[in-house]
Amino acid sequence: MKTFIKNIKRYHWYYIMILCGITCLILFSYIPMAGLQIAFRNFKPGNTIWNAKWVGLKNFWFLKDTEFWRIVKNTFVLTGARFVVSFPAPIILALLINEISNTAFKRIVQSITYIPHFISWIVVAYILDSFLSPYGGIINQLIEKLGGEAVFFMGSNNWFVPIVTISSVWKDVGWGTIIYLAAITSIDPELYEAAMLDGAGRFAKVKHITFPSIRPTIVLLLILSMPNLINAGIDSIYPLMNNANLEVSTVIDTYVLSNGLQLGKYSLATAIGMMSSMVSLLLILLTNKIANKVSGEGLW
Amino acid sequence: MVKKHIKHVKQKNDIGGKVFKTVNTAFLLFLCAVTIYPLFYIIVYSLNEGLDSMKGGLYLWPRVFTWFNYQYVFGNGVIKHSYLVTIARAVLGTLFGLLVTGLTAYGFSLKQLPYRKGLMLIALIPMLFSGGIIPYYIQLSRLHLVDTFWVYVIPCMFSVWNMFVMMKFFMGLPEELRESAYIDGAGDLRIFLKIILPLSKPVIAAIGLFIAVWQWNDWYSGAFYVSKASLLPLQTYLQRLFNANSLSMLTQNSQIVAEAAAHESQTATMTITSVKMAAVVIGTLPILCVYPFIQKYFVKGMLIGSVKG
């Protein structure tokens, strides 16, 4: 106790500083976590999270709802497709950029491909609309010129997943290369020289030196990207949703949002949200464990 | 024999190398074009007369050049107001964000601080698990933040991710700076303000810009935590406009109707799409204009944060 008081006294400014951030976390992260209990209560407007009536597992009826499982399927189809394309894309692009020997060209490519990261998802939706619209969108103009019939891409169930995947690659592939390029730059050039003496070609060097050197970075980003498999992201999905594609575009995130904030079913929406938070946590823990087992490169 | 073999391999590589280089350069050029063209296209569209654009065939340059789409957007009181909201939240959000995140980061940057590990754990847990949007919303409304301007600023003051970036930067500064100043009798707060802060301009710039861009582009808070029309930020306004399919949805106030009538000949050539494009360009251009100058700070911030440890 005595040392505790002494420590606090000596370092009080540091603790005050840390407390600024921790207060924010308590208000906007920890109290909402405590708010998860309304998944087991019947929360009505006017209630607090502490005084709503307990109802046990009643709110979890959605687990037996086929509608809910259809939405889970939508989510995984969407996030799975997005992951398969947009996780490896920046790695490949980084390797390609690294092969450029002209530094000016390299810088230009980097600067240009970073730009879309700073564009909002709403603007991305506008861009998609101007390209894909059946009334004069560029893509449909081309299709018509080639003798085809205009396609209503934005309102089609078949095109929703490809559109989301392509737009997320367009937006973030360049930005994603930054970390990989930094990892590649830190590789000892002597390794490449030694490999060259051994007669290793361009692809052998990538396979035996570059790739193994950036593997820890890849694993790190893989673990961090796991929550994206369950959180499709309202930010990027919602602007592209419309009545014509609802059947495939409703994902867990948007389902929670519309049930909770728009229809006022707070307890149900919280229960669904809690399941998805737990799955997301499990995915991170599991990937980390596998990474540790396989190569000892886990986050902790 | 061996020598000959090496020479052979080298030669083969050279040809293969050249082909690879050409293909690679071509591909990257193509990628740059694909990246930039959509942005270029919305600018072209916004500078062309709406009715003319409907005819199609508009690709690289405005055919019937006009500023009218922009005049119309700037004449719209709602858009102008939403622009001010966005600027206000970007400025205040960045200031408060830097203050709270920076102070916390400095507090955590002292390695020998007692109980640091436990406090760090408190900061880390929310990265792995969250209460989700509904309890978050209930908390916002309990704090009376819903439907106020401060919902854009206060809940976003602290970001664990940004805090780590700043903490790594502070930890990278020589420890002796702090120690010698302390021995000279300077207090901890004084050391932070007089010695550490002046050395931290790059990280402050980087994180400040991250926050500012985030604030600028966030349409989400405006759409779900706010219902007052006077608090709509630009991106949320654009989100609402996205599904609008007639010009009448734009002209809600009489001043604009009057103005539109005055320009009737021009209004007739305007379409909802051309006006939308002008609004989108106005919402994006500030970021695109400052981007070339601040790019290096973004990359720096990204790199400080990516070092594992």
B125: which chain A residues are within 8 Å (Cβ-Cβ)? 29
Is residue A12 domain-shared with residue A130, that is, in the same domain?
A: no
| CB pair distance less than 8 Å for B217 and A120 | yes
Is residue B35 domain-shared with residue B87, that is, in the same domain?
A: no
Is residue B118 domain-shared with residue B164, that is, in the same domain?
A: yes
| Complex prediction ipTM | 0.91
Which of A17, A112, A280 lies at the smallest CB-CB distance from B35? Answer: A112
Q: Give the structural domain span for B18.
A: 2-46
Is residue A214 domain-shared with residue A264, that is, in the same domain?
A: yes
Confidence tier at B10 by pLDDT (50, 70, 90): low
Which of B53, B122, B224 lies at the smallest CB-CB distance from A25? Answer: B122
Mutate to test the interface with A, among B48, B103, B130 (most CBs of A within 10 A): B130
- For the cut 50, the answer to whether the pLDDT of residue B308 exceeds it is no
Is residue A61 domain-shared with residue A26, that is, in the same domain?
A: no
Query: Would you state the pLDDT for residue B253?
Result: 44
The DSSP code for B193 is: I
Best CA proximity match to A253, nearest among A43, A64, A79, A39: A79
Best CA proximity match to A265, nearest among A256, A275, A273, A274: A256
B308, A220 in Cβ contact below 8 A?
A: yes
Structure-model confidence comparison of residues B96 and B70, the more confident one: B96
Please state, in angstroms and rounded to a whole number, the distance separating the CA atoms of residues A151 and A132.
8
Is residue A23 domain-shared with residue A103, that is, in the same domain?
A: no
Q: Is residue A38 part of a domain?
A: no
Structure tokens at B105: 């980061």
Q: Is residue B257 part of a domain?
A: no
Which of A99, A199, A270 lies at the smallest CB-CB distance from B134? Answer: A270
Is residue B287 domain-shared with residue B138, that is, in the same domain?
A: yes
Structure-model confidence comparison of residues B74 and A75, the more confident one: A75
Best CA proximity match to B56, nearest among A180, A100, A144: A144
Is residue B223 domain-shared with residue B295, that is, in the same domain?
A: yes
Average pLDDT over residues A2-7: 90
Q: Is residue B52 part of a domain?
A: no
B33, B51 in Cβ contact below 8 A?
A: no
Which of A216, A260, A284 lies at the smallest CB-CB distance from B133? Answer: A260
Query: Would you state the pLDDT for residue B149?
Result: 96
Is residue B24 domain-shared with residue B94, that is, in the same domain?
A: no
CA distance A54 to chain B (A): 16
Is residue A215 domain-shared with residue A249, that is, in the same domain?
A: yes
Is residue A133 domain-shared with residue A282, that is, in the same domain?
A: yes
The DSSP code for B85 is: H
The DSSP code for B271 is: -
Q: Is residue B102 part of a domain?
A: yes
Is residue A160 domain-shared with residue A14, that is, in the same domain?
A: no
Q: Is residue A139 part of a domain?
A: yes
Please state, in angstroms and rounded to a whole number, the distance separating the CA atoms of residues A194 and A187.
13
- The answer to whether residue A136 neighbours chain B at the CB level (below 8 Å) is yes
Is residue B147 domain-shared with residue B199, that is, in the same domain?
A: yes
Is residue A60 domain-shared with residue A27, that is, in the same domain?
A: no
Structure tokens at B122: 């408190």
Query: Would you state the pLDDT for residue A133?
Result: 85
CA distance B181 to chain A (A): 15
- The CA-atom distances, in angstroms, between B93 and each of A72, B211, B298 are 35, 7, 18
Q: Which chain B residue's Cα is nearest to A131?
A: B38
| CB pair distance less than 8 Å for A99 and B21 | yes
Is residue A120 domain-shared with residue A10, that is, in the same domain?
A: no
**B132 three-state secondary structure:** coil
Q: Which of A62-66, A294-298, B105-109, B235-239 has the lowest mean pLDDT?
A: A294-298
- For the cut 90, the answer to whether the pLDDT of residue B235 exceeds it is yes
Q: Distance from CA of residue B157 to its chain's centroid?
A: 16
Burial B88-111 (b: 16+ CB within 10 A, else e): ebbebbbebbbebbbbbbbbbbbe
A10 Cβ contact list (under 8 Å, min separation 6): none
Domains of chain B: total: 2
- 3-class SS string, chain A: CHHHHHHHHHCHHHHHHHHHHHHHHHHHHHHHHHHHHHHHEECCECECCCCCEECCCHHHHHHHCHHHHHHHHHHHHHHHHHHHHHCHHHHHHHHHHHCCCCHHHHHHHHHHHHHHHHCCHHHHHHHHHHHHCCCCCHHHHHHHHCCCCCCCHHHCCCCHHHHHHHHHHHHHHHHHHHHHHHHHHCCCHHHHHHHHHCCCCHHHHHHHHHHHHHHHHHHHHHHHHHHHHCCCCHHHHHHHCCCCCHHHHCCHHHHHHHHHHHCCCHHHHHHHHHHHHHHHHHHHHHHHHHHHHHHCCCCC
Q: Give the structural domain span for A7.
A: 1-31
Is residue A165 domain-shared with residue A16, that is, in the same domain?
A: no
Is residue B82 domain-shared with residue B217, that is, in the same domain?
A: yes
Q: Is residue B284 part of a domain?
A: yes
Domains of chain A: total: 2
Is residue B23 domain-shared with residue B93, that is, in the same domain?
A: no
Residue B293 belongs to a domain with what CATH number?
1.10.3720.10
Is residue B39 domain-shared with residue B80, that is, in the same domain?
A: no
For A239-262, write each residue's pLDDT tens digit: 999 888 889 999 999 999 999 988
| CB pair distance less than 8 Å for B32 and A108 | yes
For A158-199, write each residue's pLDDT tens digit: 999 999 999 999 999 999 998 899 899 888 889 988 988 888
The pLDDT mean for chain B works out to: 85
| CB pair distance less than 8 Å for B134 and A260 | yes
Q: Is residue A145 part of a domain?
A: yes
Is residue A170 domain-shared with residue A22, that is, in the same domain?
A: no
Residue A79 belongs to a domain with what CATH number?
1.10.3720.10
Is residue A7 domain-shared with residue A94, that is, in the same domain?
A: no
- The CA-atom distances, in angstroms, between A248 and each of A122, A127, B67 are 20, 21, 40
Is residue B150 domain-shared with residue B191, that is, in the same domain?
A: yes
Best CA proximity match to B167, nearest among B118, B117, B203: B203
* Amino acid of residue B188: D
Best CA proximity match to B169, nearest among B109, B101, B247: B109
Q: Is residue B106 part of a domain?
A: yes
Confidence tier at B250 by pLDDT (50, 70, 90): low
Residue pairs between chains A and B whose CB atoms are closer than 8 Å: 267
B273: which chain A residues are within 8 Å (Cβ-Cβ)? 130, 136
Average pLDDT over residues A105-126: 93
Q: Which chain A residue's Cα is nearest to B236?
A: A122
- DSSP letter string over B89-120? HHHHHHHHHHHHHHHHHHHHT-TT-TTHHHHH
Return the H-helix or E-strand segment holding B239.
helix B234-242
Query: Would you state the pLDDT for residue B208?
Result: 92
A223: which chain B residues are within 8 Å (Cβ-Cβ)? none
- The answer to whether residue A109 neighbours chain B at the CB level (below 8 Å) is yes
- For the cut 70, the answer to whether the pLDDT of residue A281 exceeds it is yes
